[in-house]
Amino acid sequence: MHWVDTVRNSPGVHRELAEGIESLLGWRKGVHQKKPETHRKIVGGSRKAYWERCSGISPEFARMFDFWLQKSKATKGL
């Protein structure tokens, strides 16, 4: 038990843990910044494909399809 207390209280271990925690916080920040960018790319690509695919159909059906597409994305959390 004495060895565990010695390792736990050593400055090198504390420094290493602190550096590890800082890098994790930076990683999470990067993930949170990346998420909206990826979402914009997905939504932009799907809207472009939607308009290319639906160019020859009735406007009413296109509006309904757009509504369905937005609703499905909202339920999936995108």
Tokens matching residue 46: 């799907």
Q: Which residue has the tokens 């296109």?
A: 62
Amino acid (1-letter code) at residue 15: R
Could you give the CA distance from residue 64 to residue 62 in angstroms, rounded to a whole number? Answer: 5
Quick check: 71 pLDDT over 80?
A: yes
pTM over 0.75: no
Could you give the CA distance from residue 43 to residue 72 in angstroms, rounded to a whole number? Answer: 12
Count: domains in the chain: 1
Does residue 2 form part of some domain?
Answer: no
Does residue 8 form part of some domain?
Answer: no
Distance of CA 52 to the CA centre of its chain: 27
pLDDT tens column, 17-59: 656 555 555 555 565 566 667 767 766 677 667 666 666 677 7
Among 43, 26, 45, 31, CA closest to 78: 43
More confident site: 43 or 73: 73
Does residue 44 form part of some domain?
Answer: yes
